[in-house]
């Protein structure tokens, strides 16, 4: 069952805190997006129920953006408030995807994470246009991209 982006973001914030790290808004936004992508690509179901838009500087989850934009480029210092009844708890698979995403990508800067989401043939690149400022990135496009990434990374049998 998909949850809200704030629940996922709070797990990332806790994982970072446990490792003595802090995340800024750009890092957090991209980590939530990447985890959502891997969930779609590996399990064919969404991690978050929030929609994602292609903005000039990458994929953005508007509701999450509004909650963290006041931090600017500074570290986020508190858990994000959860909307009552709108944020389902994470199941075991969802928590595992978030944990693995943090393990693989959590050390990267926001700029580096952003660069990963801006490469040619990414869902953002296929959706964004200077003529349409905030087009929604469909989950099926994200799923297709991350399914292909998973195939490309799969070990080859000898």
22-75 pLDDT, tens digit per residue, is: 999 999 999 999 999 999 999 999 999 999 999 988 999 999 999 999 999 999
The pLDDT value recorded for residue 2 is 81
pLDDT above 90: residue 130 = no
Is the model more confident about 152 or about 6?
A: 6
pLDDT above 90: residue 151 = no
Give how far Cα 54 sits from Cα of 78, 84, 136, Å.
Answer: 27, 28, 6
Range 17-25 average pLDDT: 97
CA angle 91, 109, 81 (to 5 degrees): 45
The pLDDT value recorded for residue 99 is 98
pLDDT above 50: residue 157 = no
Say how many C-beta atoms besides its own lie within 10 A of residue 27's C-beta.
26
By mean pLDDT, which of 91-100, 105-114, 123-132 is the weakest? 123-132
Report pTM. 0.94
The pLDDT value recorded for residue 1 is 66
The pLDDT value recorded for residue 158 is 46
């Amino acid at each position: 069952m998909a949850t809200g982006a704030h629940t996922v973001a709070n797990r990332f914030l806790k994982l970072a805190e446990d490792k003595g790290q802090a995340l800024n808004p750009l890092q957090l936004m991209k980590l939530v997006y990447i985890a959502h992508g891997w969930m779609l690509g590996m399990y064919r179901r969404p991690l978050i129920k929030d929609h994602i838009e292609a903005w000039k500087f990458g994929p953005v989850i508007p509701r999450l953006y509004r909650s963290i934009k006041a931090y600017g480029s500074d570290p986020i210092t508190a858990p994000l408030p959860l909307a009552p009844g709108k944020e389902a708890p994470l199941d075991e698979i969802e928590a595992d995807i978030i944990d693995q995403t943090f393990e693989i990508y959590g050390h990267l800067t926001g700029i580096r994470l952003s660069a990963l989401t801006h490469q040619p043939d990414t869902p953002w690149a296929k959706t964004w246009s200077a003529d349409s400022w905030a087009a929604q990135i469909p989950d099926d496009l994200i799923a297709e991209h991350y399914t292909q990434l998973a195939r490309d990374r799969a070990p080859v049998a000898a």
